[in-house]
C-alpha cells in the first residue's frame, strides 16, 4: 500500500489508460479522484473500483474549461484535504493531413491535450506548493517524439506537453514537486482500435516487441514516477513503447 492516505487526481479516467491508472493507484491504497466528460462511464468506473474496496470519487468536467477545472480541484481539496498526484491523461485525436486539417481539429486537439494539462497543473500546483509535495505526470506520446503522418496536431500537442513539463519541473523542483512525462507507444485502447487493420499491421512491424502495449503497462510506470523510489526523477520523458522509438 505505497499510496496509503494519498490522493490522486486522474483526468480522462472513464476508460483506457486513465481507467487503468485509477485502478493501479487505487490498488496501491490511494483515494482516486476521477475526472472525465463522459459522466455515465465515469460513474461505472467509480462503482467498479468501489466494488474492489477502492475509494473513488467521480467529477464530470471538461479539461479545456478552466472554470470547471478550478471548481473540481477546489471540491476535491475540500472533500479530501489534499491532492498528492496529478495525472494529466485526457487526450483526443482528430487525424488528417495538414493540408486538409480544419482549424477546429487543430484547436480541439491542442485544447484538450495541451491546454487541458496547463489548466489542471496550474489549479493543483497551488495546493502542492503549500503542501511542499507533489507528483505530476503528463501523458505524452511516442508521436510527440517522432511525429506521425496525419497527426501534426496531435504530435504538436504531445511534444508541447514535454516542453511544458520540463519548464514546470524547473520552476517547482525546490518545493518537493516532480513533473515528468510518460510517452506511450501503441497501447490497446479505443484510441488505437479506431485504426484500420492495415495500419495496425504496419505499426506492429515497426514495434520490436511485435505487440501493442497494455494500459496497465503504462499505469505501472506512472505509479513508479509517483512513488518514493522516483523522488530524484524530474523533467524526464519515460518511453513505454515496446522499443518502437529508442
Ligand atoms: N492508446 C494509445 O496508444 C496511446 C498512445 C500514446 C499516448 N496516448 C495518450 O494516453 C492518454 C489516454 O489515451 P487512451 O488511449 O486511454 O484514450 P481513450 O480515448 O480511451 O481515453 C481518453 C479519455 O479522455 C477523455 N476526455 C477526452 N476529452 C476530454 C475533455 N475535454 N475533458 C475531460 N476528459 C476528456 C475521454 O472521455 C476518455 O475517457 C491520451 O492522452 C492519449 O493521447 C495513448
**Domain membership of residue 102 as a residue range:** 7-187+214-235
Are 235 and 179 spatial neighbours (Cβ–Cβ below 8 Å)?
yes
Q: Report whether residue 191 contacts ligand 1, using a CB cutoff of 6 Å.
A: yes
Pocket test for ligand 1, best of 9, 10, 11, 12 (most atoms within 8 A of CB): 12
Do the domain assignments include residue 176? yes
Cβ within 8 Å of residue 210, ≥6 positions away: 204, 242
Other beta carbons within 10 angstroms of residue 91's beta carbon come to 25
| Best CA proximity match to 26, nearest among 59, 62, 60, 2 | 2
Three-state secondary-structure class, residue 35:
strand
Do the domain assignments include residue 206? no
- Rounded to two decimals, the pTM is 0.98
Q: 58-67, 88-97, 151-160, 188-197 — which is least confidently predicted? A: 188-197
Do the domain assignments include residue 60? yes
**CA pair distance 48, 53, nearest whole angstrom:** 9
Do the domain assignments include residue 244? no
Do the domain assignments include residue 196? no
Do the domain assignments include residue 35? yes
Q: Report whether residue 238 contacts ligand 1, using a CB cutoff of 6 Å.
A: no
The CA 92 to ligand 1 mean position distance, Å, reads 5
Three-state secondary-structure class, residue 141:
coil
| Best CA proximity match to 20, nearest among 10, 7, 30 | 10
First-last CA distance in the chain: 33
Do the domain assignments include residue 112? yes
Per the structure, how many domains does the chain have? 1
pLDDT score for 150:
95
CATH number at residue 135: 3.40.50.720
- Calculate the CA dihedral of residues 159, 172, 69, 152 and round it to 10 degrees: 0
Do the domain assignments include residue 167? yes
Cβ within 8 Å of residue 186, ≥6 positions away: 142, 192, 203, 207, 212, 213, 241, 242, 244
The CA 204 to ligand 1 mean position distance, Å, reads 21
* Burial of 195 per CB tally in 10 Å (0-12, 13-18, 19+): middle
Residue 156 has φ and ψ, to the nearest 5°, of: -65, -40
| Tens digits of residue pLDDT in 6-25 | 999 999 999 999 999 999 99
| Tens digits of residue pLDDT in 140-172 | 999 999 999 999 999 999 999 999 999 999 999
> Does 245 participate in catalysis according to the annotation?
no
Q: Give the mean pLDDT of the chain.
A: 97
Amino acid at each position: 500500500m505505497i499510496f496509503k492516505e494519498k490522493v490522486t487526481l486522474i483526468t480522462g479516467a472513464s476508460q483506457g489508460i486513465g481507467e487503468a491508472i485509477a485502478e493501479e493507484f487505487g490498488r496501491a491504497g490511494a483515494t482516486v479522484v476521477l475526472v472525465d466528460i463522459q459522466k455515465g462511464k465515469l460513474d461505472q468506473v467509480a462503482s467498479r473500483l468501489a466494488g474492489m474496496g477502492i475509494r473513488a470519487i467521480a467529477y464530470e468536467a471538461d479539461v479545456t474549461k478552466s472554470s470547471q477545472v478550478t471548481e473540481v480541484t477546489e471540491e476535491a481539496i475540500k472533500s479530501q484535504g489534499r491532492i498528492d498526484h496529478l495525472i494529466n491523461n485526457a487526450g483526443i485525436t482528430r487525424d488528417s493531413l495538414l493540408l486538409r486539417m480544419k482549424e477546429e481539429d487543430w484547436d480541439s486537439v491542442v485544447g484538450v491535450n495541451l491546454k487541458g494539462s496547463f489548466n489542471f497543473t496550474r489549479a493543483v500546483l497551488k495546493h502542492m506548493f503549500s503542501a511542499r509535495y507533489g507528483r505530476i505526470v503528463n501523458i505524452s506520446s511516442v508521436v510527440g517524439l517522432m511525429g506521425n503522418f496525419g497527426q501534426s496536431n496531435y504530435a504538436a500537442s504531445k511534444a508541447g506537453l514535454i516542453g511544458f513539463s520540463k519548464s514546470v519541473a524547473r520552476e517547482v523542483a525546490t518545493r518537493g514537486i516532480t513533473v515528468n512525462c510518460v510517452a506511450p507507444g501503441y497501447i490497446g485502447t479505443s484510441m488505437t482500435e479506431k485504426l484500420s487493420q492495415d495500419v495496425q499491421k504496419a505499426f506492429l512491424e515497426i514495434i520490436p516487441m511485435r505487440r501493442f502495449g497494455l494500459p496497465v503497462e503504462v499505469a505501472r510506470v506512472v505509479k513508479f514516477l509517483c512513488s518514493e523510489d522516483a523522488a530524484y526523477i524530474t523533467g524526464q520523458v519515460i518511453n513505454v513503447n515496446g522499443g518502437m522509438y529508442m
